[in-house]
Amino acid sequence: MRFGILVNEGPYTHQASDTAYRFAVAAIESGHEVFRVFFYHDGVNNGTRLSVPPRDDRNMQMLWSDLAAKQGVDLVICVAAAQRRGILDANEAKRHGKDGDNIAPGFRISGLGQLMEAAIEADRLVTFGD
């Protein structure tokens, strides 16, 4: 089965990111494909490289980045939600006259078209968070 995943909550305010990550790993380990995870609303906060969780806490950004690197999962952050929350890649930073970017490795910024494409191409689109 081919899955798309939608994450709507931030990594440290709600369990949705943890649950989505564990679902993705379990699906891949069971022989399924997770081809895209779309981060929307506060979920875009999973994709900042500037978060520094305490050593005894999970590092959701690193877990997602590792999943992208090892399994080729496409991690897409909604551009509008990201801009509202100050998450920028190099192109968006330059376009808006900012002095740097803060997107984590393995993530990319794009529009809602990527979410619609995931819904169309996936056998199932699974949503985590409100």
Asked if 129 and 7 count as a contact pair (C-beta separation under 8 A), the reply is yes
CA–CA gap between residue 88 and residue 109 (Å, rounded): 8
Name the residue among 89, 95, 108 with its Cα closest to residue 36: 108
Identify the active-site residue in 7, 44, 78, 122.
Answer: 78
C-alpha to C-alpha distances, 17 to 8, 38, 58, 94, 100, nearest whole angstrom: 8, 11, 11, 29, 26
Annotated active-site residue 13? The verdict is: no
Catalytic (active-site) positions: 78
